[in-house]
Amino acid sequence: MPASPPPAAAPDWPPTLDTPLDAIARRWLDHRDDFDAHALEVAIEVAHGAEAYALAATWLQALIDGFPDRDTPAQRWRLVGVLLHAGDDAAATEAMHSHLRRMPQDWQGWTRLAEMLARRGDPAGALAALAQLPAAGHRDAALGLARARILLHLRKPLEARAVLEAVPRDDPAAYADACRLRAQIASSLGQAREMAEAALEGLAHAPGDSLLLVILARGLAAEQDWAAALPVLDRAAAAGVDDADFHYLRSAVLLHLGRLREALATAQKAIDLSGGDPAHLYHAAGIAMRLHDVAEARALLDRLLEAAPTHAEAWLLRVELEAASGQRQLALDLADRARETLPGDERLRQRRATLLLQAEPEVTTRRAALPDRPLPRRPGRAGPPRSEAEILRRGLAGQMRALQALVGYRIHHMTQFSRFGLLSAVLEPMLHMAVLAAGMYYFNHGRPPLGKDLFFFYATGVLVFLAFAHVTQHAFTAYREEASLLQVPQIRRVDLVLSVAVAHLLVDGMACFVVLGGMVLLRDHAMVDDWWTVAAAFLGGIALGTGLALLGAALNSINRGVQKFWVSAQRLLYMISGVFYLPMHMPEGVRDWMTLNPVLHLIEWFRHGVFPQYEPPWLSPLYVLQWAVCLIVLGLMLEVALRRHVRP
């Protein structure tokens, strides 16, 4: 039987979808005239399937340029997309410009062009493209959403929110998108209430929108309305939300509602979905510690420290876990490892020092027989107290030693981060006075309200006010942020505030008299009339600051907002206390109200000791001392009354 003839070879041209890409590319290089419209379209599809987007863009451009019937808006849009896939943003932008020159009414094209320019870092070009949108004649919801997204990309959230508020409500889906974007803007601006309100408006038009449900829950959680946030999260879970951030939020809500077991289980889901996110691990470890599940907390913290060895809070929590479990030596070892990993963390250093103070040496007798008589007392070691007075004397001596150690620690902490050491305490008021003098010289042509030296006049207000402000500023957070020091038996809560006052009495007092003495020696018109009055006024400022610090530290232990309020109030106090002006230059009605301020009397008292001719009739040093005593008594009473709430 004769052999059958071989099948005829498939023609190599025109190309098909099975033609190899390299064959088409070689044909293009050698015989470009062989490519008609059909061949180019096939070549484009082959290149697109092989993800050779640069070749696809080249052939698509040739198709548009060489065949007018193929030059359609759809093909031009396709060219822009292929160029973007090829990574040639400049060519894609130019192609979109070319398309819009031929079709300026294409508002979607202007929107896409603005997005591309914004992504390329050309905000002026993006805004210019947005300016073309009204001329296109389209003001519908989709246009508003596109504008808002571009403005958000340009980091203009307020303008984007204004555009979104103008989106019409006749399109429920578009309005829900607008509400979602408004909620995200409110979240980025820290406006929890506005975020929740925008989510509620969107849910009125799209009740089953899972993203809006999660945003609403976040807003309610930020407003600390935990009971209302949980049902919203349950609705989101029923709508199919199942990601790590969702479970993390739900765990936080359950934690604040006191449902610790459910919170821990939900946190475990978040950890599984995120692959061990450090924030999720730390959150779950905290819940496990509140449940007294030491093994689970230890495992979570070890996993966290393995993933993020520089997580300072995790090291602190790990050390606290072992210390609370009675494993003091293990806690010390962990503290040493943490210090090696994070040598600059002050909290770890303080916690390690506290553990060292609490550690007691173990005494072993090895079954040795104890002597019949008491062991001889070490020379210099005091025996048991013989009277109540001796007990009181020893207690006061121990308290003074603890206070002395705290004062040394405060002074070291104030100077350890500055290269100038204690000299930085002198530089601060000098810089303060320099700024004041420069400003007042510009507005007042350098004439001091009192005396003949502008710097010297400002020194009389700045020095005593800064001493008062430093005591309050550094002592308001003592009960909260330095509670670890209270684990030393000799240290009381009041010692934390008193140590701040004594430290600033020494440091700011030294700075005050160095500045005043230096001015007296170096400047012609600087003279102090009565150093004793100046010293008494300075001590009055420290006493007033101590009283306010005792009261503020007790209140701040209940609510952190007290310290934030005082930071703002301190600025107002600076303006109404006569630091850089004299109250006598104020209207009489205003001055009558100003004289109720004890800090104003304090500064006037200080100036009275410097300038002998300055004796304001409203000055009352007794008024300052009365305020100081009342504040100290109130602060001590409140500290005693709130001891159950102010826990280390």
Q: What's the pLDDT band for 444 if we cut at 50, 70, 90?
A: low
pLDDT score of 6: 41
What digits encode the pLDDT tens for the residues 67-96? 888 788 888 888 888 888 888 888 888 888
pLDDT at residue 633, as a whole number: 93
Phi/psi for 342 (5° steps) reads: -125, 75
User: Using omega within 30 degrees of 0 as the cis cutoff, is the peptide bond preceding 385 cis?
Assistant: no
pLDDT of residue 142: 65
pLDDT digits (tens, 9 = 90+) for 576-602: 888 878 888 888 888 888 889 999 999
Is the per-residue pLDDT at 240 higher than 80?
yes
CA dist 95 and 58 (Å) reads 12
Q: Report which of residues 202 and 548 the model is more confident about.
A: 548
Res. 4 pLDDT band, cuts 50 70 90 = very low
Give the list of residues 6+ apart from residue 183 with CB closer than 8 angstroms, or none: 194, 195, 196, 198, 199, 202, 212, 215, 216, 219
Q: Which helix (H) or strand (E) holds 219?
A: helix 210-222
What is the percent of the chain with per-residue pLDDT over 70, rounded to a whole number?
A: 84
Mind listing the pLDDT tens digit for each residue in 13-55? Answer: 567 777 778 888 887 877 777 788 888 888 888 887 888 888 8
Tokens 């408006």: give the residue: 201
Max mean pLDDT among 209-223, 446-460, 475-489 falls in 209-223
pLDDT at 154 over 90: no
> Is the whole model's pTM more than 0.75, yes or no?
no
The per-residue pLDDT for 399 is 75
Per-residue model confidence (pLDDT) at position 438: 67
Give pLDDT, residue 630: 94
What percentage of the chain exceeds 90 in pLDDT?
Answer: 6
| Closest C-alpha among 439, 437, 607, 614 to residue 516 | 607
pLDDT at residue 422, rounded to an integer:
65
Q: What pLDDT score was predicted for residue 8?
A: 38
Token duo for residue 243: 């990601």
State which of 58-67, 413-422, 603-612 shows the largest mean pLDDT: 603-612
List, for residues 316-329, the tens digit of each pLDDT value: 888 888 888 888 88
Domain residue limits, the chain: 397-641
What's the chain's average pLDDT? 79
Query: Exposed (0-12), middle (13-18) or buried (19+): which is 551, by Cβ within 10 Å?
Result: buried
Of residues 541 and 338, which shows the higher confidence score? 541
pLDDT per residue as tens digits for the range 210-229: 888 888 888 888 877 888 88
pLDDT for 382-423, tens place per residue? 555 556 776 677 777 777 887 888 888 777 777 665 666 666
**What's the confidence (pLDDT) of residue 647?**
46
Residues 357-370 pLDDT 10s: 776 554 444 444 44
Query: 261-265, 285-289, 452-456, 486-490 — which is least confidently predicted?
Result: 486-490
Q: Which pLDDT score is estimated for 136?
A: 44
> Tell me, what's the pLDDT at 364?
46
> Which is it for the CA torsion 141, 147, 153, 155, positive or negative?
negative
Q: Is the pLDDT of residue 634 over 90?
A: yes
Provide the CB-side half-sphere exposure for 228 (13 A, CA): 12
Kindly tell me if the per-residue pLDDT of 281 is higher than 50.
yes
DSSP string, 20-67: -HHHHHHHHHH-GGG--HHHHHHHHHHHHHTT-HHHHHHHHHHHHHH-
**Whole-number Å distance between alpha carbons of 333 and 350:** 15
- Asked if residue 626 has pLDDT above 90, the reply is yes
